[in-house]
């Protein structure tokens, strides 16, 4: 199973929690209320809040409400959602990927559940993270940017691309993810981009130059193609170096 990386995180406007129930201690991260119970530590809550900020979850003027707690060895990320979202299959798929990434990036692979909740933080649906046992893909990190690759690409090639990304300023310490694969005609560099850029010819021209630079600087002038993807890493447009 190819790891799914979410850039457009679960960013919906939610209602304020309306109850006197004690949800735990409260921290604010931009417009997001993060409650945490005594089953987790303050440092764990801070790590989650920082991660949400890095991923853009906390952006926007309207309040979002989430809670972090733990049952046994499983972390629970509980969030208030609009009515009906707990039945939306696309939204649930996003939540699954969110659970996966939260586990990997914050909790060192520990089990994570996403609880889609009503305005009283009562669980409407539990979304479990997908299995993490797939060893077909490996990951190297370069200044916050993760390069995911399989056996078609060598570690030295991944390192060369990663070093180029750092030298070129592509990496900036924030969490980003790309996929690098080798196919019959050369390398494919998968990257998430806004849908506004998929048909933008000026942006495509910049991407073409980027592909040429990766080829010449990191991959010995071999063919490189950039795949502009949606948040699920589905390719929306391919841009060739030629």
**Which pLDDT value is given to residue 61?**
75
DSSP assignments along 100-133, one per residue: HHHHHHTSTT--EEEEEE-TT--EEEEEEPPP--
Range picked from 6-15, 48-57, 210-219 for highest mean pLDDT: 210-219
Does an H or E element contain 49, and which? Answer: helix 42-54
- Residue pLDDT, tens place only, 215-225: 999 999 999 99
**Which pLDDT value is given to residue 96?**
82
Nearest to 88 by CA among 186, 12, 202: 12
- Residue pLDDT, tens place only, 93-152: 778 878 888 888 899 889 999 999 888 888 999 999 876 544 457 889 999 999 988 888
**Which pLDDT value is given to residue 194?**
87
Which residues lie closer than 8 Å to 180 by C-beta, 6 or more apart? 147, 148, 149, 153, 157, 158, 161, 187, 188, 189, 190
| Domains of the chain by residue range | 25-128, 138-240
Q: What is the CATH number of domain 25-128?
A: 3.30.300
Looking at residues 74-91, what average pLDDT do you find?
Answer: 87
Would you say residue 1 has pLDDT above 90? no
Contact 152, 114 (CB under 8 A): no
Res. 188 pLDDT band, cuts 50 70 90:
very high
Residue, of 119 and 21, whose pLDDT is higher: 119
Report the distance separating Cα 237 and Cα 228, nearest Å.
Answer: 5
The pLDDT mean for the chain works out to 84
The vertex-8 CA angle with 99 and 41, nearest 5°, equals: 40
Residue, of 157 and 52, whose pLDDT is higher: 157
196's tokens: 């506004």
**Which pLDDT value is given to residue 5?**
36
**Which pLDDT value is given to residue 131?**
66
Contact 153, 159 (CB under 8 A): no
Contact 79, 114 (CB under 8 A): yes
Would you say residue 21 has pLDDT above 60? no
Residue whose structure tokens are 């005609």: 185
Would you say residue 234 has pLDDT above 90? no
Looking at residues 57-80, what average pLDDT do you find?
Answer: 89
Looking at residues 37-60, what average pLDDT do you find?
Answer: 90
Range picked from 40-49, 77-86, 228-237 for highest mean pLDDT: 40-49
Does an H or E element contain 152, and which? Answer: none
Which residues lie closer than 8 Å to 204 by C-beta, 6 or more apart? 237, 239
The CB-side HSE value for 228 (13 A sphere, CA atoms) comes to 21
């Amino acid at each position: 199973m190819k790891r799914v990386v979410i850039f457009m995180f679960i960013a919906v406007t939610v209602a304020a929690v309306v109850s006197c129930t004690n949800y735990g201690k409260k921290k604010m991260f931009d417009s997001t209320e993060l409650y945490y119970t005594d089953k987790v530590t303050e440092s764990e809550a801070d790590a989650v809040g920082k991660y949400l900020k890095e991923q853009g979850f906390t952006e926007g003027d309207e309040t979002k409400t989430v809670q972090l707690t733990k049952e046994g060895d499983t972390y629970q990320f509980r969030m208030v959602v609009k009515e009906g979202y707990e039945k939306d299959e696309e939204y649930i798929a996003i939540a699954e990927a969110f659970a996966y990434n939260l586990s990997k990036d914050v909790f060192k692979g520990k089990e994570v559940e996403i609880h889609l909740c009503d305005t009283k933080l009562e669980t409407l649906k539990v979304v479990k993270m997908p299995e993490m046992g797939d060893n077909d893909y490996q990951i190297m990190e370069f200044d916050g940017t993760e390069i995911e690759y399989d056996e078609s690409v060598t570690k030295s090639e991944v390192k060369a691309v990663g070093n180029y990304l750092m030298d070129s300023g592509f990496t900036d310490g924030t969490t980003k993810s790309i996929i690098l694969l080798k196919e019959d005609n050369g390398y494919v560099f998968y990257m998430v981009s806004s849908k506004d850029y998929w048909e933008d010819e000026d942006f495509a021209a910049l991407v073409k130059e980027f592909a040429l630079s990766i080829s010449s600087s990191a991959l010995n002038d071999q063919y490189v193609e950039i795949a502009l993807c949606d948040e699920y890493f589905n390719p929306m447009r391919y841009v060739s170096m030629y």
